[in-house]
Amino acid sequence: MSNWMSKTDYEQWVASTRAERMAWWREARFGMFIHFGLYSQVGRNEWVMSLENYPIAEYEKLAETFNPRPGAPRQWAELAAKAGMKYMVMTTRHHEGFSLWDSKVNPYNSVNYGPKRDIVAEFVEACREFGLKIGFYSSLMDWHHPDGWRCAFDTEARLRFTHYLTELNRELLTNYGKIDVLWYDVAWPMTSWEGWDSLERNQIMRQLQPHLIINNRSQLDEDFGTPEEHITASEHDWEACMTFNGLSWGYVDSAQAIPYSYNAQRIIKMLQTTTLGGGNLLLNVGPMPDGSVPPEAIEPLTTVGRWLAENGAAVYGKKVKFSTWPASGVGGMSCDGANIYLWNWVWPRGGEMALGGFASPLRAVRLLKDGSPLQFEQRGHRILLKNLPPTPPDQTAGITVLQLEFDGPPEFHFASYYPQLHQGVDYAGENKI
Ligand code: GLC
């Protein structure tokens, strides 16, 4: 215990090494979350054990029938790469307490039961095959472990349980080579970092994997925030995690559910919101009982991947905060310095489109997808694009990205509600961004 840094020293150290550790993450923008476990067989939410008050012995029977087909993680990773995602995070052990690896400290696992295989090993191998960074989701809450609830009021139980969690995660971060992200979840029933021994555990984890990125759910701020089912920007690094259907992280039988899932356009809109706000999107897929990707996720993700293959410059890489106000009513703008990427959702009829607010001289405008130049005129703060094709040039999703090239970060003045203010040289400067 005394070998460990104090909270203040630790947080300072984490902050001072963050930029280097997180360089890839800050540019990756888009990842796949996988929720897979015994609950996938039930198809009524990964919380089913708790929500439906399953007796433990009855729930354990699901371990016998759990039988993901060989190669399932490979399908996830292949689709993630195809979708333009750069990393994956998989539930190694969700709240149900079942480990998907060859755990020595948790015999309730996928090597002793069900498939008799190490699914984590298969996942890691698949990520590496497709060049994806690797994240492990690890629940703090555990409904199966006898100390999982006693820890809240029994000191001995608490010590046993927090030790158990450390050993589980030690296995995960020791046995599979380089791991990039540790994604904790649900610090309950205890509610403080002291209760969970997070300070010590996270230092151990960082010793095991010096480049590890840790999320903010172990009651310490660590590296990044995790808005869930909403996309809300913040000053610190953040990653919005979103379900694919607004219903559940674990598989739900889409034939039995309200038919709702994201199409490519909605996913691209989420990417726009995260990119403009400087964050990442971790989009969830809840594989079917046999581990297959639900069919309704395949087409949208593949389309997003095709769109990103042509328009990725608007999304990936270092982006600078630009105006949250738009230059027109047709979409948002991301910026990497000299380039503004205008995500167009409403292609104009009549071959012309105007953008308001840019005070810097524009060098060129092109279609991002193929670099073809567009004609333009710049009159004061107004850019007039001319001779545009009659239909959206983007054939993949209908969302065309225009690249506006300036000499450096452009000066931009939001209209301030009065278009006249854009005309004059005596612009007062309010709302200057
Ligand atoms: C939660 C839920 C959980 C899900 C997670 C994803 O807090 O308990 O089931 O895994 O969020 O962010």
Q: How is residue 218 annotated by DSSP?
A: T
Work out which ligand 1 atom sits closest to the CA atom of 91.
10
Give the pLDDT confidence score for residue 204 in this predicted structure: 98
Q: What is the pLDDT of residues 169-199, one digit of tens each?
A: 999 999 999 999 999 999 999 999 999 999 9
pLDDT in the model for residue 414: 75
Contact yes or no for 290/325 (Cβ under 8 A): no
Are 298 and 149 in the same domain?
A: yes
Residues 144 and 42 in one domain: yes
Average pLDDT rounded to a whole number, residues 249-277: 89
Ligand 1 center–CA 96 separation, angstroms: 12
Instruction: Please tell me the residue having the least CA distance from ligand 1 atom 10.
Output: 249
Chain segment 250-259, per-residue pLDDT in tens: 999 877 777 6
Note the pLDDT tens digit of each residue in 83-100. 999 999 999 999 999 999
Q: In this structure, are 372 and 225 located in the same domain?
A: no
Judged on CB neighbours under 10 Å (0-12, 13-18, 19+), 44 is: middle
What pLDDT is recorded for position 253? 85
2 pLDDT higher than 60? no
**Residue of 44, 96, 139, 186 to mutate, ligand 1, most atoms within 8 A of C-beta:** 186
Per-residue confidence at 1, pLDDT binned at 50, 70, 90?
A: very low
Question: Are residue 268 and residue 399 in the same domain, yes or no?
Answer: no
**Among 314, 348, 366, which residue terminates a domain?**
314
Find the 414 Cα to ligand 1 centroid distance in Å.
39
Distance 16 CA to ligand 1 centre (A): 29
Same domain, 412 and 310: no
Checking if the pLDDT of 367 tops 60, the result is yes
Q: Please tell me the predicted confidence (pLDDT) of residue 426.
A: 38
pLDDT band at 274 (very low <50, low <70, confident <90, very high): very high
Probe residue for ligand 1, chosen from 185, 215, 229, 238 as the CB with the greatest number of ligand atoms within 8 Å: 185
For residue 186, which atom of ligand 1 is closest to its CA?
Answer: 7
Q: Which two tokens stand for residue 349?
A: 């009829």
What pLDDT shows up at residue 3? 81
Strand ordering across the sheet containing 333-335: 333-335, 339-344, 400-405, 364-367
Q: What is the mean pLDDT of residues 153-178?
A: 98
pLDDT at 356 over 50: yes
C-alpha distances (whole Å) from 140 to each of 95, 137, 144, 180 are: 8, 10, 12, 19
- Domain residue limits at 264: 7-314
Kindly tell me the sign of the dihedral angle through the C-alpha atoms of 177, 183, 188, 191: positive
Select from 42, 157, 159, 20 the least CA-distant residue to 94: 42
Which residues, other chains included, contact 155 with Cβ-Cβ below 8 Å and sequence gap of 6+? none
Which is the closest atom of ligand 1 to the Cα of 46?
Answer: 9
Q: What is the pLDDT of residue 419?
A: 55
Name the more confident of 292 and 381: 292
- Count of domains observed in the chain: 2
The mean pLDDT value for 9-31 works out to: 97
Alpha-carbon span 370 to 391, nearest angstrom: 16
Q: What's the chain's average pLDDT?
A: 93
**Residue where a domain terminates, one of 264, 282, 314:** 314
Residue 323 falls inside a structural domain: no
Residues 274 and 363 placed together within one structural domain of the fold:
no
Q: Which atom of ligand 1 is nearest to the CA of 141?
A: 8
Residue 369: enclosing H or E segment and its boundaries? Answer: none
Residue 346 counted as domain residue: yes
To which H or E segment does residue 343 belong?
A: strand 339-344
pLDDT of residue 258: 73
Assign 69 a pLDDT band (cuts: 50, 70, 90): very high
Distance 200 CA to ligand 1 centre (A): 24
Percent of the chain with pLDDT over 70: 95
* 324 belongs to a structural domain: no
The ligand 1 atom at the shortest distance from the C-alpha of residue 94 is 10
Check whether residue 289 and residue 394 sit in a common domain.
no
The reply to whether 34 falls in a domain is yes
Contact 110, 117 (CB under 8 A): yes
List the residue whose alpha carbon is closest to atom 4 of ligand 1: 249
- Domain of 163, CATH number, reads 3.20.20.80
Average pLDDT over every residue of 303-327: 92
Distances (CA, A) of 8 to 1, 5, 11, 199, 316: 15, 8, 5, 10, 33
pTM of the predicted structure, to 2 decimals: 0.95
Let me know whether 291 and 367 are in one domain. Answer: no
Q: Which residues line ligand 1 (CB under 6 A)?
A: 35, 46-47, 185-186, 228, 241, 249
Supply the residue whose CA is at minimum distance from atom 5 of ligand 1: 185
Say whether pLDDT at 429 is over 60.
no
> Do residue 200 and residue 304 come from a single domain?
yes
Spell out the SS3 assignment of 248-265.
Answer: CCCCECCCCCCCCCCCHH
Do 259 and 110 lie in one domain? The reply is: yes
Average pLDDT over residues 310-332: 88
381 CB burial (10 A radius; 0-12, 13-18, 19+): buried
In a domain, 106, yes or no: yes
Instruction: Check pLDDT > 70 for residue 142.
Output: yes
C-beta separation of 233 from 270 below 8 A:
no
Domain end (from 248, 281, 314): 314
Q: Which atom of ligand 1 is nearest to the CA of 228?
A: 12
Copy the structure tokens of residue 58.
Answer: 């009855």
Query: Is the same domain home to 267 and 386?
Result: no
Quick one: pLDDT at residue 416?
54
The average pLDDT across 144-152 equals 98
Q: Which of 228, 230, 282 gets mutated to test ligand 1 (max ligand atoms within 8 A of its CB)? A: 228
Instruction: Identify whether residues 125 and 229 lie together within a single domain.
Output: yes
Report yes or no on 414 lying in a domain: yes
Residue 283 lies in a domain: yes
**pLDDT, tens only, 372-427:** 999 999 998 899 999 999 999 999 999 999 999 999 999 998 765 555 554 443 33
Residue-level pLDDT at 19? 97
Q: Measured in angstroms, how far is the CA atom of residue 227 from the centroid of ligand 1?
A: 11
Residues above pLDDT 90, as percent of the chain = 87
Residue 185 CA to ligand 1 centre (angstroms): 7
